[in-house]
Amino acid sequence: MAQKQSPFNKEVKIPSLCQMCDESSNTKWMCIECDLFFCAECESKFHKKSKTLAGHNKIDIEQCGTENIAKEIHKAGLKSMNCEVHSDLVCVLFCQNCQQPVCTKCLHVLENKHKEHRLSSISDVYDEKFCEMEDFRNRVGQNIPFCSKIQNELEHMLDSGTKQYGEQRQILIQKGDDVITEFQSNIKVLLKEVDSEWKTLEGTLKEEIKVMKILKDHMEKEREIACQVSSASDMLTKLYPSSEKMLLPKKLIYEMILKQVSYKPSKTSHDDMKEYSKIFFGKLKVKIVN
């Protein structure tokens, strides 16, 4: 949204020639209502002689100075400030207690609420307020360069930080891709090693299971035959092999261990990767007890 320009910041350009006769270069007056600059001769010839123009608000440029024209134009509005209570009268005073402009009639009515209030000339109050405004504008204006400096520094920090953030983020993404690639490559090697170890152990175990099954079947058959005795006399003459001569495994406890493998990253390490490595650790013990 566009900021409304202050009337005091507007540059008032005084024309080089009178805007009424277009001849004299001695511009002395400025009429608020007509919005014209004119010389002293035109003022006496036209402005003073016309009843309508004579009541207009005029500014003496020579008295106020060119730098105060904007202020005087703004202040001229006081001359047409009608009273809120008595609209046919112009306010000439300002009540300091009520903080409002009043006319002379407000002071003479029976219900005068401004009695014993502090009253001042409306023109003097305007001048005081104008000085306060100028002082405030100057004090604020002194802080604007500091704020601009800090703003520029912060914007520079933001631009620099945004650039660094983008670079660091890209580095981390690339590093993550490298870690994933390296991890997947090592996983393939470890899987291949684990598969090879397991196939060897699996084959051995299956062979041992096959042997144990045959031996168990043979023992069950021998046990069944041993119970097949037709008479008591046969029992007396039946020969049973001693425990030393029984068919037993060459080892009472047969132990096989699956080789342990682990993943050791060469570039990047992280505690979480240790958890992934655990899936490649294994130990298998098979016990065959007589």
What span, in angstroms and rounded, lies between the C-alpha atoms of 180 and 213?
47
Rounded to whole angstroms, what are the CA distances from 154 to 67, 140, 147, 162?
38, 21, 10, 12
Any idea what DSSP says for residue 44?
Answer: I
Q: Looking at the domain assignment, is residue 285 inside a domain? A: no
What span, in angstroms and rounded, lies between the C-alpha atoms of 193 and 191?
5
Residues 6 or more apart from 22 whose CB is under 8 A from it? none
Q: Looking at the domain assignment, is residue 59 inside a domain? A: yes
Asked whether the whole model's pTM tops 0.85, one would answer no
Q: Looking at the domain assignment, is residue 260 inside a domain? A: no
User: By three-state DSSP, how is residue 262 classified?
Assistant: coil
Any idea what DSSP says for residue 95?
Answer: E
Q: Looking at the domain assignment, is residue 61 inside a domain? A: yes
Q: Number of folded domains in the chain?
A: 1
User: By three-state DSSP, how is residue 56 classified?
Assistant: coil
| Domain assignment of residue 35, given as a range | 6-78
Domain at 70, CATH number: 4.10.640
Contact yes or no for 37/22 (Cβ under 8 A): no
**What pLDDT, on the 0 to 100 scale, is given for residue 273?**
45
Q: Looking at the domain assignment, is residue 42 inside a domain? A: yes
Q: Looking at the domain assignment, is residue 21 inside a domain? A: yes
**What pLDDT, on the 0 to 100 scale, is given for residue 87?**
87
Q: Looking at the domain assignment, is residue 269 inside a domain? A: no
**What pLDDT, on the 0 to 100 scale, is given for residue 145?**
93
Q: Looking at the domain assignment, is residue 290 inside a domain? A: no
Contact yes or no for 92/121 (Cβ under 8 A): yes
Grouped pLDDT means (10 residues each) for the chain, 290 residues: 50 80 85 84 80 75 67 76 88 90 81 80 88 89 92 95 94 91 90 88 86 86 77 73 58 51 50 46 39
Any idea what DSSP says for residue 100?
Answer: E
**What pLDDT, on the 0 to 100 scale, is given for residue 159?**
96
The one-letter code for the residue type at 22 is D
Contact yes or no for 256/286 (Cβ under 8 A): yes
